[in-house]
Amino acid sequence: MSDYLIQLSKNPIIQKLINTMGLPKPPVELNRNNLPWEERPFNDQPVMIGQIQQTAFTKTVAETVVKGGGNPFIEKDEAIFDIFHQAGKGYGRLPQSNVIDEIHENFAPKILIFDATNLHKPEGLNQVYSFFQSHLRSLAICGRVVILSQPPATQTDISAAATARALEGFVRAMAREIGFKGATANIVYVTPDAESRLEPVLRFLLSERSAYISGQPLYITAQVISDESIPKIRPLDGKTALVTGAAQGIGAAIARTIAREGARVIIMDRPSEDIPAGKLAAEIQGSVLCCDITTPSAGDQIVEMVSKTFNGLDIVVHNAGITRDKLLVNMKPEIWDQVLDVNFRAILRVNEKLLPIMHNNARIVCLSSVSGIAGNRGQTNYAASKAGVIGFISALAPKVSDKGIAVNAVAPGFIETQMTARIPFVTQLVARRLNNLNQGGTPDDVAEAITFLCSPGASGLTGQVLRICGGALIGA
Amino acid sequence: MKNPKKRRAVIIGGVRTPFLRAFGDFMPLSTIDLGAQAVKGLLKQFPIAWKEIDSMIWSGVILPSATVNVGREIIFDLGLPMEIEAYTITRVCTSSLCAITLAASAIERGEADVMIAGGSDSTSNAEVKMPQSLVHKFAPVVLSPKSTVKDYFRLLTKLNPKNDLIPQRPAIRERLTGELMGESAEKMAARNQIDRKSQDTFAMQSHQRAAKAIETGRFASEITPVELPNMKKIYADNIVRGNTSLDKLSKLKPAFAKNGTLTAGNSSTLTDGAAAVLLMEFEKAKSLGFSPLSSIRSWSYDAVDPTDQLLIGPAISMPKAMQKAGMIPMDIDLIDIHEAFAAQVLSVLKVLGSNQFAKDRLGFDKAFGEIDPKDINIHGGSIALGHPFAATGARMVITMANELKLSGKSTALLGICGAGALSAAAILEAV
Q: Which of chain B's residues have a Cβ under 8 Å away from the Cβ of A93?
A: 191
B307 and A CB contact within 8 Å: yes
Residue B73: CB atoms within 10 A of its CB come to 21
B329 and A CB contact within 8 Å: no
pLDDT at A100 over 70: no
Determine the pLDDT at residue B1.
Answer: 46
**Which chain B residue has the Cα nearest residue A38?**
B305
A89 and B CB contact within 8 Å: yes
Average pLDDT of span A156-168: 95
**Length of chain A measured in residues:** 476
Q: Which pTM value belongs to this model?
A: 0.89
**Strand ranges (E), B219-328:** 226-227, 233-234, 271-281, 294-303
Q: What is the per-residue pLDDT across B387-421, written as a single tens digit (0 to 9) for each?
A: 999 999 999 999 999 999 999 999 999 999 999 99
Residue A344: CB atoms within 10 A of its CB come to 24
Nearest-CA distance from B392 to chain A in Å? 26
**Length of chain B measured in residues:** 431
| Cβ atoms of residues A326 and A335 within 8 Å | yes
**Which chain A residue has the Cα nearest residue B305?**
A39
**CA A186/CA A175 separation, integer angstroms:** 7
| Cβ atoms of residues A187 and A168 within 8 Å | yes
Is the CB of B356 less than 8 angstroms away from the CB of A89? yes
| Cβ atoms of residues A115 and A90 within 8 Å | no
Average of per-residue pLDDT values in chain A: 93
**CA B16/CA A270 separation, integer angstroms:** 73
Q: What is the per-residue pLDDT across A252-275, written as a single tens digit (0 to 9) for each?
A: 999 999 999 999 999 999 999 999
B312 and A CB contact within 8 Å: yes
Determine the pLDDT at residue A20.
Answer: 79
**Which chain A residue has the Cα nearest residue B346?**
A92
Q: Which of chain B's residues have a Cβ under 8 Å away from the Cβ of A90?
A: 351, 354-358, 360-361
Bridge partners (DSSP) of residue B173 are B180
A49: CB partners within 8 A, 6+ apart: A61, A65, A72, A73, A74, A84, A98, A112, A113, A114, A115
Determine the pLDDT at residue A2.
Answer: 65
Determine the pLDDT at residue A310.
Answer: 86
**CA A96/CA B140 separation, integer angstroms:** 59
Average pLDDT of span A215-234: 94
Determine the pLDDT at residue B256.
Answer: 93
> What is the DSSP track for A369-417?
-HHHHH--TT-HHHHHHHHHHHHHHHHHHHHHGGGT-EEEEEEE-SB-S
Is the CB of B356 less than 8 angstroms away from the CB of A39? no
Is the CB of A92 less than 8 angstroms away from the CB of B347? yes
A91 and B CB contact within 8 Å: yes
Determine the pLDDT at residue A189.
Answer: 97
Is the CB of B358 less than 8 angstroms away from the CB of A43? no
Determine the pLDDT at residue A104.
Answer: 73
User: A interface mutation test: which of B186, B259, B308, B345 has the most A CBs within 10 A?
Assistant: B308
pLDDT at A306 over 50: yes
Nearest-CA distance from A391 to chain B in Å? 40
Residue B98 is a catalytic residue: no
Domains, chain A, with CATH or none: 31-220 (3.40.50.720), 240-468 (3.40.50.720)
Residue A424: CB atoms within 10 A of its CB come to 8
Is the CB of B360 less than 8 angstroms away from the CB of A86? no
**Which chain A residue has the Cα nearest residue B309?**
A92
Residue A150: CB atoms within 10 A of its CB come to 23
**CA A375/CA A95 separation, integer angstroms:** 47
Q: What is the per-residue pLDDT across A184-193, written as a single tens digit (0 to 9) for each?
A: 999 999 999 9
CA B393 centroid distance within chain = 4
pLDDT at A341 over 90: yes
Is the CB of B357 less than 8 angstroms away from the CB of A94? no
- Burial degree of B66 (CB within 10 A; 0-12, 13-18, 19+): exposed
Query: How would you classify the pairing of strands B226-227 and A465-468?
Result: unpaired
| Cβ atoms of residues B209 and B378 within 8 Å | yes
Q: Quick one: which of B351, B340, B403, B413 has its CA closest to B376?
A: B413
Q: Which of chain A's residues have a Cβ under 8 Å away from the Cβ of B350?
A: 89
Average pLDDT of span A144-167: 95
How big is the A-B interface in CB pairs under 8 Å? 41
Computed from CA positions of residues B48, B50, B53, B57, in that sequence, does the dihedral angle turn out positive or negative?
positive
Domains, chain B, with CATH or none: 9-126+267-430 (3.40.47.10)
Determine the pLDDT at residue B3.
Answer: 56
Report how far apart, in Å, the C-alpha atoms of B292 and of each of B124, B331, B405 are: 35, 21, 9
**CA A414/CA A376 separation, integer angstroms:** 13
Is the CB of A86 less than 8 angstroms away from the CB of B356? yes
Is the CB of B361 less than 8 angstroms away from the CB of A40? no
Catalytic pick from B207, B338, B379, B417? B417
Determine the pLDDT at residue A476.
Answer: 53
Buried b (16+ CB within 10 A) or exposed e, B204-236: bbbbbbbbebbeeebbeebbbebeeeeeeebee
Average pLDDT of span A46-74: 93
**CA A11/CA A23 separation, integer angstroms:** 15
Regions of chain B short of the pLDDT cut 70:
1-4
Nearest-CA distance from B193 to chain A in Å? 7
B350 and A CB contact within 8 Å: yes
For residue B358, the 8-state DSSP code is I
Residue B193 has its nearest CB partner, among A69, A91, A94, at: A94
Q: Quick one: which of A335, A331, A409 has its CA closest to A369?
A: A409
User: A interface mutation test: which of B193, B195, B316, B371 has the most A CBs within 10 A?
Assistant: B193
Determine the pLDDT at residue B156.
Answer: 87
**CA B32/CA B10 separation, integer angstroms:** 26
Catalytic pick from B93, B98, B207, B379? B93
- Burial degree of A141 (CB within 10 A; 0-12, 13-18, 19+): middle
Q: What is the per-residue pLDDT across A422-436, written as a single tens digit (0 to 9) for each?
A: 888 888 888 888 899
